Amino acid sequence: MDDGQLKLVIIIASDPDADKLMKKLIEQGYPATKVSSTGGFLRKGNATILSGVDANEVDQILAMVRMECYARTEYVPVQTLPFFGEGSVVQEPIEVRVGGAIVFVLNVERFEKT
């Protein structure tokens, strides 16, 4: 799949997963920039990782994302969820999906390093 084109890989993951992924990317020699962000269902910290790589390296990046940013379940107190809030009659923690990642792969029209 090497068409000689540069790709911009944008990865949005939870902070703990993003930290592990950043370490792995740097160990493997991939350029990576981490930008802190928030959002999502649980309003927890996220990170957006940007990495410019050759087209033939995208599959290796995606494999690392799958290994470090896998989806899992966690129990959280109901009061911390945005749709329940205070005064909820349910007191038991509930199981929610956390982790995983969202990945965008974009063509790079132009790249300059100054």
Residues 51-71: tens digit of each pLDDT? 999 999 999 999 999 999 988
Q: For the chain, what is the mean pLDDT?
A: 83
Q: Are 101 and 80 in contact (CB under 8 A)?
A: no
The CATH class of the 6-70+98-107 domain is alpha beta
Confidence check: pLDDT of 88 > 60 = no
Q: What mean pLDDT do residues 16-33 have? A: 95
Q: How far is CA 78 from the centre of its chain?
A: 24
User: What pLDDT shows up at residue 2?
Assistant: 44
pLDDT band for position 112 (cuts 50, 70, 90) = confident
Confidence check: pLDDT of 42 > 60 = no
Confidence check: pLDDT of 48 > 90 = yes
- Taking the C-alpha atoms of residue 75 and residue 65, their distance in angstroms, rounded to an integer, is 23
- Taking the C-alpha atoms of residue 26 and residue 65, their distance in angstroms, rounded to an integer, is 13
Q: What's the token pair of residue 44? A: 């927890």
> Domain extents for the chain?
6-70+98-107
Q: What mean pLDDT do residues 28-44 have? A: 80
Q: Are 42 and 80 in contact (CB under 8 A)?
A: yes
